[in-house]
Amino acid sequence: MESGPRGGSRPAEPGPCLSSQCGADQAASASVLSAAGAEPGSRTLAVAAVLPAGGCGERMGVPTPKQFCPVLERPLISYTLQALERACWIKDVVVVVTEENMQAMENIIQKYKHKSISLVEAGVTRHRSIFNGLRALADNRLNSKLSKPEVVIIHDAVRPFFDEDILLKVVTAAKEHGAAGAVRPLVSTVISPSADGCLDYSLERARHRASEMPQAFLFDVIYEAYQQCSDYDLEFGTECLQLALKYCHIKAKLVEGSPDLWKVTYKRDLYAAESIIKERISQEICIVMDPKENEEHIGHLLEEILKTELNHVQVTSQALYNAGSDIQQINLEQCYNFVCVNVKTPDFRETQKLLSMLEESNFSLLYPIVVVSAHFLDFKLVSPSQKMESLMWIREFAKEMRKKNILLYGLLINHSQDEQKLQENLRQGAIIITALIKERNSALIGQLLVA
Amino acid sequence: MESGPRGGSRPAEPGPCLSSQCGADQAASASVLSAAGAEPGSRTLAVAAVLPAGGCGERMGVPTPKQFCPVLERPLISYTLQALERACWIKDVVVVVTEENMQAMENIIQKYKHKSISLVEAGVTRHRSIFNGLRALADNRLNSKLSKPEVVIIHDAVRPFFDEDILLKVVTAAKEHGAAGAVRPLVSTVISPSADGCLDYSLERARHRASEMPQAFLFDVIYEAYQQCSDYDLEFGTECLQLALKYCHIKAKLVEGSPDLWKVTYKRDLYAAESIIKERISQEICIVMDPKENEEHIGHLLEEILKTELNHVQVTSQALYNAGSDIQQINLEQCYNFVCVNVKTPDFRETQKLLSMLEESNFSLLYPIVVVSAHFLDFKLVSPSQKMESLMWIREFAKEMRKKNILLYGLLINHSQDEQKLQENLRQGAIIITALIKERNSALIGQLLVA
């Protein structure tokens, strides 16, 4: 039951603070998990995860269940699966969905190339769904690709923001204590109403915690608890840690989690999720320029200004001519934002080269990539209106790119001979580039903006 | 101690579901408050509000205290004050701020023309700050413009999203029960940890509530409670309802609130707040066109397409030539989005007229106004590049308008003679207009976009 990496064809996994590769991290995690294991030596822990996703999201106020709501056009649950995939040591992920959403879920897994997922049909309540997921892992059926894990993680489909560290912590604690769960301080005071709707008592905020996800359990503990628990528990209960306590006398270890563990509950949470994801994928900009041409000077000026304007953003530069492997290098650095500098090259040649490479790759599978095609022109020598002739081309091309999840914008910068004016124009260009990257607005693709 | 409207010079108060005028609503509210009062007849309740705003926002992870964080460039607390101002029957609002933020708060009140606000210095804890606010109302000092109210509302500076209805409900309940507070269902299960950091017990979620704001009290009840309460309460307590229970034996009435009552706590909440406010001010678009010219046809076509594309948005049209009072009319309908149709008029004449009127008014005081200057041109007859000459003009003009909180964008629509193509171009124009209104991005002002 060795857990290993789930294939080398996993999709690129971005986010500035997240590792995209399982190699080194996996070794570290495996070592932690191995150290926490009962037996010393090289055997690592067999871990699976159950993700109940059968809810109807009534609190959201939208017809689509919240786990399927699109965020940057991708369903929320796909982000959660992606975050679980970062922990390569999780062998299987069982997603529990209602029959009516089974096909939609299949499509999501296929489209975003999620690995090691098994689908199980949901029950009518959350607890019944989790029980169904655990049963699938326990069964050890002949044709099942699933096998019983030593530790099982239970997480929510609508909590996409967590890092591997909290998973490791709850799994390690579960191995030691039998059960563990993430907790957070309470935001509001909790009170108990009397029957007539008045205040009976209020709880001391500092002495209580909000129980969040992920949680983890020794598989035998939580499975035993579910097998024993009453119909009332299955219908009205919400807390898995409570079941382990009630039926197996296991006092779960509580692990303090970060604010990232929040659950997408209301419509405003979808807004917040989209903003957070946009921010995460806007942390790096790659400036692409042709070193063979005499354009390095202006390209590097733009690079410097972007670095000054964007304190927290990493700005790098690349040349496309050197080798085809450069784009691969960019991907490893999880870059979703490109500024392509075209100076002497006619029209959009440099940009076209970059776009072909991006098109051939699969980088835009999970997130829309922004490409700003930057052009320089001295407005005193040539009227910017002449450059407008290119507009039609970029508009049509942007429409094509849109289908590949690549957002292409044009940017015309006044290459003034006056050094001070040039600096001002470059600064204006940097502001526009920042806005395009931050908003990632598909309605403005193909536009030629002027700085 | 009659409460009356606080002057006719209050700023425009927008939001699609919010009333902008105090007249009719006030009569209704006054009648409710009067009916709830002890004495029958015309006497309405004297109500004041205390807004503790002395927190440092440590959970936000940003250096600025969260109540002063900008949302669409305006500090969050100004939105909360604006929401309180909608309830004209609140006579005084006491804002409690730290000494170091006193001047900043003065500036906010002046800049956004908030009325009936008194500032009081904060204590070192939330409870001490509220106590200071109550003291200022109780004092009846000779030079004080404040007077002791019958009922006092306590609210949070960082909860800007509530409507008058919940204020009325808690005030009415407080008048009857002595104390009242808004509550919400729990999002997470609440648990109690043992000393060793393990699960001791979990609370049944359905039997508990999160205590939210606003709360309201008979002034004498809460003031008495604060005068009696211990230093421990003042240092470590968080719940005003609990003080009324403990020291005055008043069991507060709990009022179920809407999800709108949430508190801006984390950075993600600021993202959500900005998205909600943007959505609220994007619910109406006014198309401005000159009926004297032969442009009504194309203007109305654009209007129809916008109506089709934007299901939930109210699209109206206006003529500027009729009378100066038309803009006043637009304001009453709380419109923050204008599309100005220029067909035969040279360049931007229609747009300039609108901008002058907006500039003279004070409509952009609270929210950035979007103005899209739409131009029509048959690209087959005239190259769009010719129209680009106007670009420089709109860029400079947009910079000026920006200072007045007006965001000006140009939009060039291909007025194709082919009916089907024209429809497609208008649809594309509608998508761009929608994006500009939705994003309200100041980095793209002065750009000439093409549809």
Is B277 part of the contact surface with chain A (CB cutoff 8 Å)? no
With CB atoms and an 8 Å threshold, state whether B276 touches A268: yes
Cα(B96)–Cα(B93) distance, integer angstroms: 10
Interface test with B, best of A215, A268, A279, A393 (most B CBs within 10 A): A268
Residue B166 tokens read as: 């919940």
Q: How confident is the model at residue A238 (pLDDT cuts 50, 70, 90)?
A: confident
pLDDT, position B311: 77
The pLDDT mean for chain A works out to: 85
**Residue B80: partners with Cβ closer than 8 Å, 6 or more residues away:** B51, B67, B155, B156, B157, B158, B159, B160
Q: How confident is the model at residue A113 (pLDDT cuts 50, 70, 90)?
A: very high
**Cβ(A149)–Cβ(A46) below 8 Å:** yes
Q: Is the dihedral of CA A411, A414, A419, A420 positive or negative?
A: negative
Pairing of the two strands B314-318 and B253-256: unpaired
The percentage of chain A sitting over the pLDDT mark of 90, rounded to a whole number, equals: 62
Higher pLDDT, B387 or A446: A446
Question: Quick check: helix, strand or coil at residue B41?
Answer: coil
Residues of B in contact with A209 (CB under 8 A): 190-193
C-beta neighbour count of A4 within 10 angstroms: 12
Q: Which residue has the tokens 């006056």?
A: A418
Q: Which residue has the tokens 């790659």?
A: A286
Looking at the complex, does the CB of residue A189 fall below 8 Å from at least one CB of chain B?
yes
Would you place residue A89 in the very low, low, confident or very high pLDDT band (cuts 50, 70, 90)? very high
DSSP A315-342: EEEE-SSS-THHHHHHHHTT--EEEEEE
- B353 three-class SS: helix
Interface contact flag, A450 B447, Cβ < 8 Å: yes
Q: Say if CB A294 and CB A221 are below 8 A apart.
A: no
Domain with CATH 3.90.550.10 in chain A: 23-276
Q: Which of residues 379-408 of A touch B (CB under 8 A)?
A: 383-386, 388-389, 391, 395
**Which residue intervals of chain B bear CATH 3.40.50.360?**
281-450
Half-sphere exposure of B445 (CA within 13 A, CB side): 21
Using an 8 Å CB-CB cutoff, list chain B residues near A188: 184, 210-212, 263
Contact residues, A window 322-381, toward B, CB-based 8 Å cutoff: none
* Number of C-beta neighbours around residue B107 at 10 A: 11
- pLDDT, residue A41, reads 45
Q: Measuring CA to CA, which residue among A320, A388, A175 is closest to residue B388?
A: A388
pLDDT value, residue A14:
39
The whole-number pLDDT of residue B446 equals 94
Residues A260-280 pLDDT 10s: 999 999 999 999 999 999 999
Q: What is the pLDDT of residues A350-362, one digit of tens each?
A: 888 889 888 888 8
Q: Give the residue on B whose Cα is nearest the Cα of A187.
A: B265
Considering only CA atoms, which of A394, A375, A354, A370 is closest in space to residue A442? A370
Confidence at A299, pLDDT banded by 50, 70, 90: confident
List pLDDT tens digits, range A239-260: 999 999 999 999 999 999 999 9
Tokens at B143, concatenated? 């030079």
Q: Given pLDDT bands bounded at 50, 70 and 90, which one contains residue A38?
A: very low
CA–CA separation, B317 and A78 (whole Å): 42
pLDDT of residue B296: 63
* pLDDT for B142: 61
pLDDT, position A7: 37
B384: nearest CB among A181, A262, A391: A391
Q: What is the pLDDT of residue A3?
A: 38
According to the model, what pLDDT value does residue A347 have?
A: 65
Does the beta-carbon distance from B441 to A431 stay under 8 Å? no
Q: What share of chain A is helix, strand, coil (3-state, %, to 5)?
A: 45, 20, 35
β-pair type (B179-185, B253-256): parallel
Cross-chain Cβ contact B194/A251 below 8 Å: yes
Identify which of B309, B275, B281 has the alpha carbon closest to the alpha carbon of residue B437: B281
Burial (CB < 10 A; 0-12, 13-18, 19+), residue B435, is middle
Q: Which residue of A has its CA nearest to B447?
A: A449
Q: Which fold has domain B23-276?
A: Spore Coat Polysaccharide Biosynthesis Protein SpsA; Chain A (3.90.550)
Which A positions 211-240 lie with beta carbon below 8 A of chain B?
Answer: 211-212, 236, 238-239
How would residue A28 be classed by pLDDT, with cut points 50, 70 and 90?
low
* pLDDT digit string (tens) for chain B, length 451 residues: 333 334 333 333 443 333 344 555 555 665 666 644 444 444 689 999 999 998 876 655 567 899 999 999 999 999 999 999 999 999 999 999 999 999 999 999 999 999 999 999 999 999 999 999 999 999 776 667 899 999 999 999 999 999 999 999 999 999 999 999 999 999 999 999 999 999 999 998 889 999 999 999 999 999 999 999 999 999 988 799 999 999 999 999 999 999 999 999 999 999 999 999 999 999 999 998 877 655 568 888 899 999 988 877 888 887 765 445 455 455 545 789 999 988 765 567 788 888 988 888 888 999 999 999 998 888 777 766 666 666 678 888 999 999 999 999 999 998 888 999 999 999 999 999 999 999 999 999 999 999 9
Tokens representing B423 are 């429809």
> From the list A189, A254, A431, which residue is nearest B239 (CB)?
A189
> How many C-beta neighbours within 10 Å does residue B399 have?
12
Q: Rounded distance, CA B136 to CA A284, Å?
A: 51
Q: What superfamily in CATH does domain A281-450 come from?
A: Flavodoxin domain (3.40.50.360)
Nearest-CA distance from B275 to chain A in Å? 6
- The answer to whether the CB of B407 falls within 8 A of the CB of B370 is yes
CB atoms within 10 A of CB B229: 17
| Both structure tokens of B388 | 């680009």
A186 touches chain B (CB under 8 A): yes
- Residues in chain A with CB shorter than 8 Å from the CB of B451 are none
CA distance A167 to A287: 36
